[in-house]
Amino acid sequence: MAPIPRNEKINFDPGTKYHIAANVPYLRYFIVEILQFQFHRAMCGFQGITERLYMCDHGLDRNNLERLRFYAVRRPEKLDKAFRYLCEKISRYLNNRNRPYVILGITVMNDIVKSCYQLLNTFVDDYLETLRLVLEERDDLELIEQAVASFESFCEIREEAPNYQRNYQFFVHRFTALCYYHDEMNRIKLRCLGLRGHHALFRKTANDELQNDAWKHMDQIMPSIIFNMEVEEQNQSQEATY
């Protein structure tokens, strides 16, 4: 610890501007602010803690997730509002380019969908709309991968009463576009994600007896699948020639 340096333009303590020898408020300021800071800094230096004292942790807090799951199960009448609030937060994180919290929000959404699948129809529209927003991130491989994985989990749920008004047209278009992704960077990974999305959509429509909805888009789905099969065959033939 060290006393305040000389009050020059470089080292100027604003508290000394009002300094009087017997001024108790200033003495309190000096002890609390200056000496305490110097003491804490000296202790951290002694312990070898010289890096940032607070590191952001974007990981999932399992205790809070368990509380949210318990609340959703016990208060199903509040589930739609809670889920809508979660989706609004994810949308805001997307606008602010805050990827870690978007991924965290998708993880929480997945957990709620799996835990409260009996009440899926109460919040499925908000869920699909949020996935749509994430999938619109054109070149963000990590976010697209999270959205496709979430959609796959959703498609595995067998609903007792299929919703014939639900429209998967956007997902067909987006997965088809991924199957034709042409940029060299992440091309194979994004095309595989498109094929995974189509596979999940087939499984969903078959389980929910909505085959007619899938057949309406076969003119888009099948060419994109065949295109990737032909590309794979061309790559194999080129490797064989080498």
The answer to whether 196 is annotated as binding is no
- Phi, psi of 175, rounded to the nearest 5 degrees: -65, -35
Q: Which amino acid is at 209?
A: E
Q: Which residue has the tokens 């809670």?
A: 82
Binding site residues for chloride, as ranges? 28
Bind-site residues: 28
